[in-house]
Amino acid sequence: MFKTAQLLVLAMIVAGSAKCQAVSPNASVPDGSQKTSLDSSTSTSEAGGTIEGSRWFGRIGLAGATYHSGATLATNGAIIPGATGDVSYDVTLTVDIGYDLTKNIFASMTIGIPPRPMITGRGTVASLGELGAVRYGPAMLSGGYRFRRWGAFQPYAGPGVVYAIMLKDHDASVSDLHVGNNFGFVVQAGAEHRLGRKWSIFADVKEIWLGVDAHGSIGNAPVTAHVTMNPTLFTTGLRYHF
């Protein structure tokens, strides 16, 4: 499913680029109109800088996360040379609730079914195998700017913040594992393709900078770690305008 999400993101971008080249913003039809049938219902309100109907929208999507991970491990206050770790990739469902501040600027809150990535030892601690796992609930608050629409296709981009809430720790080679909550930053870019007045499909990529602190024990030795997660989130799904 993760590879499917990546392919759908790529397909959306390619399709949008092709449409941008095929439809010139200055092109006209025989009767002199420059509006598509899809844009005609909202052209008057957009021309005046206002939003027609409700400002609220919701999205549901399938998301795949791949982690650009690493770790620094220490025992009794001394860093373990060459010790690091990997975080496994996940697939989950996400839900967005958004609000259009203007016709171009929006804000949204994203939550998802809590994923459960596994942390595996690498380098000098590779022999330990799986160090532990954590189930966490990411919550993202982001803003975005919708660029000029080409027909039914409209790209967007923007920054945001993420807060990772650790719901449950799972021991493996590390016992009594505890991972702390933390804030991070996110940048997103994507596009929506309108299917009608209310419905759209979307695909986007979110780059997240997030690290967490953890502690536990390996045998009788106390261990601390700073785990860099830094996931890239590929999401595709449906958008509904209320």
6 assigned to some structural domain? yes
32 assigned to some structural domain? no
Domains identified in the chain, total number? 1
The DSSP call for residue 174 is: S
pLDDT mean across residues, the chain:
85
pLDDT band (50, 70, 90) for residue 53 = confident
Report, as an integer, the average pLDDT of 221-228: 96
33 assigned to some structural domain? no
**What is the reported pLDDT for 116?**
95
237 assigned to some structural domain? yes
Better-scored residue on pLDDT, 11 or 62: 62
136/169 Cα distance (integer angstroms) = 9
The model's pLDDT over 29-52, given as tens digits with 9 standing for 90+, comes to 444 444 444 444 444 344 334 566
pLDDT band (50, 70, 90) for residue 7 = very low
Do the Cβ atoms of 12 and 193 come closer than 8 Å?
Answer: yes
pLDDT band (50, 70, 90) for residue 181 = very high
The three-state secondary structure class of 74 is strand
Within the chain, what is the greatest distance between any pair of CA atoms? 82
The model's pLDDT over 72-102, given as tens digits with 9 standing for 90+, comes to 999 988 999 999 999 999 999 999 999 999 9
- Would the pLDDT of 154 be above 90? yes
Phi, psi of 153 (to 5 degrees): -100, 130
Distance of alpha carbon 188 from its chain centroid, rounded?
Answer: 7
- Would the pLDDT of 58 be above 70? yes
The domain in which residue 15 lies consists of 2-24+57-241
35 assigned to some structural domain? no
What secondary structure does DSSP assign to 181-214, as a single string? -EEEEEEEEEEEEE-SSSEEEEEEEEEEE-EEEE
Q: Residues of the chain with pLDDT > 70: what percent?
A: 79
122/83 Cα distance (integer angstroms) = 6
Better-scored residue on pLDDT, 157 or 3: 157
Report, as an integer, the average pLDDT of 210-221: 95
Which domain CATH number covers 117?
Answer: 2.40.160.20
51 assigned to some structural domain? no
174 assigned to some structural domain? yes
Q: What length is written for the chain?
A: 242
pLDDT band (50, 70, 90) for residue 22 = very low
34 assigned to some structural domain? no
Question: Would you say the C-alpha torsion 221, 228, 108, 63 has a positive or negative sign?
Answer: negative
Q: What tokens does 70 get? A: 């690493």
pTM: 0.77
